[in-house]
Copies of this chain bind each other. A is one copy, B any other.
Amino acid sequence: MKPEQYVYPFEEGNMSMKSLLGGKGAGLAEMASIGLPVPPGFTVTTEACNMYLKEHKNLWSELKEEILENLSLLEEKTGKRFGEKPPLLISVRSGAVISMPGMMDTILNLGLNPTTVEYLADQAGDRRFALDCYRRFIQMFADVVLKVGSHHFENVLTAARKEKKVHSDAELEETDLEKIAERFLKIVRKETGSDFPLDPQEQLFLAVEAVFKSWNTDRAVVYRQANRIPDNLGTAVNVQAMVYGNLGNDSGTGVAFTRNPSTGEPLIYGEYLLNAQGEDVVAGIRTPRDLSDLDKDMPEVYKQFLEACQKLEKHYLDMQDIEFTIEQGKLYMLQTRTGKRTAAAAVRVAVDMVREGLIDRPRALQRIEPDQLDQLLHWRIDPDVKKNVITKGLPASPGAASGKVVFDADRAQEMAQEGEKILLVRPETTPDDIHGIIAAQGILTSRGGMTSHAAVVARGMGKPCVSGCEDLRIDLSKGRFYVKGEEYQEGIILSIDGGTGQVILGDVPLIEPQFSDEFHQLLGWADDFKKLKVRANADNPEDARRAVELGAQGIGLCRTEHMFMAADRVPLVQKMILASNLEERERALADLLPLQQGDFKGIFKEMAGLPVTIRLLDPPLHEFLPDREELLVEVDRLQREGGDAKLLQEKENLLQKVNSLTEFNPMLGHRGCRLGLVYPEIYRMQVRAIFLAVFELLEEGIPAADLQPEIMIPLVGHREEMELMKKLVDDTAEEIFKEKNQKITYLAGTMIELPRACMVADQLAEIASFFSFGTNDLTQTTLGYSRDDAEGKFLPFYLQKKILRANPFAEIDRDGVGQLVEMAIAKGRQSRPGLKVGVCGEHGGDPASIKFFHDTGLDYVSCSPFRLPIARLAAARVAL
């Protein structure tokens, strides 16, 4: 279908025509339509661009005619003439629907040639100015249209400055510029084999074509792929009459935000230069002045500009990013668009605008991308600072940290106690390193993925961690490490960015997390709208407290193994595992009981009034034992070097036990309820600890209704597993109820993390009172990906090659895992109408996944405390 019109004068367009006119064109049209002073012009549509690229490959006559007609209109409006006297000069700019780097940007002063430059000189009464415009135009046009590299022209300018012994182009004189323009035209001839086009019409058509073609530059294509922008949008071309900010000291140019884009403060924020063109503000040769000074320079213009800004904000109902020019005392608005802003500013602006009555709360919530909030929740590296990134690992736990590199947990603890900032650097961490992790600012490991010990523990503590940094080779014995052949000593300062995986040499300035009043206000509104409840994953009282502060409506996942990993408990846990019979094991468990009970008590206390889902022991037991390979080497040494026979015997025995527990695929091994079935005494101890904690708090006066334990059985795949485990929980509870002579309410449910559990969810729901989807493991099993292996190996390749659209461990895989989740919920609720269903995998804190969970009818998502604000906001947005 052929469109009726390829070219729209600004006054015929408006904001709603963005897909046809591009963002910039629609913005100019809109500004014109609300009566702001915009230099007149017109827009060639994106449709024209698409037809050019797909069919014509040349500007066709119809299009050319329309352009020329509009050019005539422009001549009328400005009272100037293109190629004639007084000369109409124009700018040509690309303008895609979605702003995109890599496309042709701007050509100014189009229409100049040896004749019109003299007309311009006459008109401006300034021949130097006209010649300066001319040489700039040649340079720009040659660069972006004729593809003659800018360096050719820069070389000429450099030589001229040298010759004249001046420092800036502004010091060059009229005659110099005249010669320079000549030289420029020769360069074009030499480089392109043709003369520079001097006919203004030809210049215009070439510029329009260049804009069209720039839609398909490599950089633009790559950018679109990376940002999933469709290839068929095309770009519009904006042609606009030139105005000049460099026509003397009653002229100028500037950029402004209607509010502070860093803080959101509701004050105009910007800078300007007198007697300058737009590019000078950015170029940094002259230091721009703060916009408030304009009040002194040109009070009338300043007032007019403030009014224009207010008008624009009221019109667009958002903070605007504005370009303007003042030509001989007259203000022109050249561009307006929604201003980019920091997360802090986004929150402040949205909340302020609600308070100012500009927007309503839903609109305020829609204004902020949930992921953006992450900036406010962790220490981060000042984005304006130059960093010496020496390598990258996996972004295992967000936040940034700097500190002295220490290889050993004990030493880390000592140094931290002396007040030093420490970065714990290890091949891998084990439970033995916990005190070192606690003491450190952050953790860096050379092995292990996103679910390695270091990563999981660090995320739990909200501590930055970069894991699986394979370039890092640590020589523990020599106290050195190597990165790409470079040698570094233990003790030097490194920084890590756990959000990107970057490892940075030296100290870097960090920005503190920010929780403003507006931040809390905004999330309060989010809570009013969201349907999904949002819980937190928290394993200790401190995390629980933080979770409540950040708005958690319960704990969705309390991982009891994290309690087993505390330094003072590991020996007890090991004793339990190494027990040679049930009696010994039960003795060790009896020692663990009061410790777990204390943990649970602390958590229940913090969460009084809210439900707490506690998952019984999940990881395979070998995770609590010393590293097998280190033991192997140690035993080999002892065997060969002779010596302490008793020690050798001890280590050999330990190795044998470790060997017998070692698994080829621990992810699919003896863990979860498989442990609870083979060693019911462990689960019994844990259930006992839960109920004893509840009774302690009851005795301290907390009402029974405020204590809501939900006991969760991990890794259930068969009905029989759930039956036996439910019975264990019920029997243990009953025992304590008898001892205490009082019953309390509790739930016993299961984690759904195996495809089989989804297939038999109807059977499981007959026994389980709730489901919580463990989407991390469900993703691993459904896709057959070991997260620890995939994220450092084939997954980046898959993402790069677009075999996967998104990392399935970050955003839920709807076709695979998603279908299973839907099926499981349907089957589960068929057996148990109203079954409570949540998700406690990391997807619980991912906005795209939250949309899926909302649509699928889950009751709640649970995420790490530091993702809570993001989840609350995302849940509200999907409900709107």
Interface residues in chain A, defined as those with a beta carbon under 8 Å from any beta carbon in chain B: 447-449, 470, 473, 629, 632-633, 636-637, 640, 656, 659-660, 663-670, 674, 677-678, 715, 717-718, 720-721, 724, 753-756, 759-760, 763, 777, 780-786, 788-790, 793-794, 797-798, 801-804, 813, 815-817, 819-820
Q: Is the CB of A784 within 8 A of B754?
A: yes
Q: Is the CB of B820 within 8 A of A664?
A: no
4 closest cross-chain pairs (CB), A and B: A756-B816, A665-B786, A668-B786, A755-B755
Min CB–CB distance A595 → chain B (angstroms) = 27
Q: Is the CB of B674 within 8 A of A794?
A: yes
Min CB–CB distance A750 → chain B (angstroms) = 13
Q: Is the CB of A784 within 8 A of B794?
A: no
Write the chain B residue with the least CB distance to A724.
B803
Q: Is the CB of A788 within 8 A of B664?
A: yes
Q: A387 CA to B856 CA in the complex, in Å? A: 61
Min CB–CB distance A512 → chain B (angstroms) = 36
Q: Is the CB of A760 within 8 A of B633?
A: no
Q: Is the CB of A756 within 8 A of B780?
A: no
A794 contacts across to B, CB distance below 8 A: 670, 674, 677-678
Q: Is the CB of A470 within 8 A of B793?
A: no
Min CB–CB distance A841 → chain B (angstroms) = 15
A677 contacts across to B, CB distance below 8 A: 794, 797-798, 801, 803
Min CB–CB distance A460 → chain B (angstroms) = 20
B664, B717, B803, B813: the one contacting A666 at CB < 8 Å is: B664
**A664-B665, A763-B815 given; 15 more Cβ-contact pairs under 8 Å:** A449-B664, A629-B629, A637-B640, A664-B786, A667-B786, A668-B780, A715-B784, A720-B804, A724-B801, A754-B784, A755-B782, A759-B815, A759-B819, A777-B784, A781-B782
Given contacts A637-B636, A782-B756, A798-B677, contact A669 B790 (CB under 8 A): yes
B448, B665, B670, B781: the one contacting A755 at CB < 8 Å is: B781
Q: Is the CB of A664 within 8 A of B803?
A: no
Q: A760 CA to B677 CA in the complex, in Å? A: 34
Q: Is the CB of A666 within 8 A of B665?
A: yes
Q: Is the CB of A720 within 8 A of B802?
A: yes
Write the chain B residue with the least CB distance to A815.
B760
Q: Is the CB of B665 within 8 A of A788?
A: yes
Q: A449 CA to B449 CA in the complex, in Å? A: 26
> Which of A763, A794, A802, A803 has the most B CB atoms < 10 Å from its CB?
A803
Given contacts A633-B632, A717-B783, A781-B781, contact A663 B789 (CB under 8 A): yes
Given contacts A636-B636, A794-B678, contact A813 B670 (CB under 8 A): no
> Which of A659, A677, A718, A777 has the most B CB atoms < 10 Å from its CB?
A718
Q: Is the CB of B786 within 8 A of A784?
A: no
Q: Is the CB of B756 within 8 A of A783?
A: yes
Min CB–CB distance A615 → chain B (angstroms) = 16
A755 contacts across to B, CB distance below 8 A: 755, 781-782, 784, 816, 820
A820 contacts across to B, CB distance below 8 A: 755, 759
